[in-house]
């Protein structure tokens, strides 16, 4: 099986589970937002636009720790994680970049047992 087909199949399965949970098909930004909230561990009803962007950044950093691109540096007094970049990201075309991120999202949810 083509690895990209495998990623796509696994991605559709994840989307189906998230639709089942939230009654709405999530896009990548929504999934990153969910991961960011999970990593922050502080569920609120409202986040500012800047906080939402920060949550997606936290998600990306957390996802890419598995590949050695980032490591958790510290958690600040408000509970927000801060990451340190360890190596530069590889140059990728948009499709490869999306698949790279999808693969990391899938690994994250597999680690959580979803």
pLDDT of residue 2: 59
pLDDT of residue 114: 73
Q: Which helix (H) or strand (E) holds 34?
A: helix 28-40
Domain extent, residue 27, equals 3-111
Question: Residue 1: is its pLDDT beyond 60?
Answer: no
Average pLDDT of span 29-35: 94
- How many independent structural domains does the chain possess? 1
Average pLDDT of span 46-58: 93
- Rounded to whole angstroms, how far apart are CA atoms 26 and 32? 10
pLDDT in tens, 54-94: 999 999 999 999 999 999 999 999 889 999 999 999 999 99
Question: Residue 3: is its pLDDT beyond 80?
Answer: no
Based on the number of CB atoms within 10 Å of its own CB, is 99 exposed (0-12), middle (13-18) or buried (19 or more)? middle
Average pLDDT of span 12-30: 92
């Amino acid at each position: 099986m083509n690895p990209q087909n495998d990623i796509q199949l696994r991605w559709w399965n994840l989307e189906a589970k998230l639709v089942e949970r939230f009654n709405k098909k999530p896009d990548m930004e929504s999934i990153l937002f969910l991961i960011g909230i999970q990593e922050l561990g502080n569920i609120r009803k409202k986040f500012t636009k800047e906080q939402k962007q920060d949550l997606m950044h936290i998600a990306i950093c957390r996802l890419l720790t598995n590949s050695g691109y980032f490591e958790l540096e510290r958690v600040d007094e408000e509970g927000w994680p801060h990451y340190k970049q360890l190596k530069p990201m590889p140059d990728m075309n948009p499709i490869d970049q999306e698949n790279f991120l999808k693969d990391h999202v899938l690994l994250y949810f597999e680690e959580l047992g979803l």
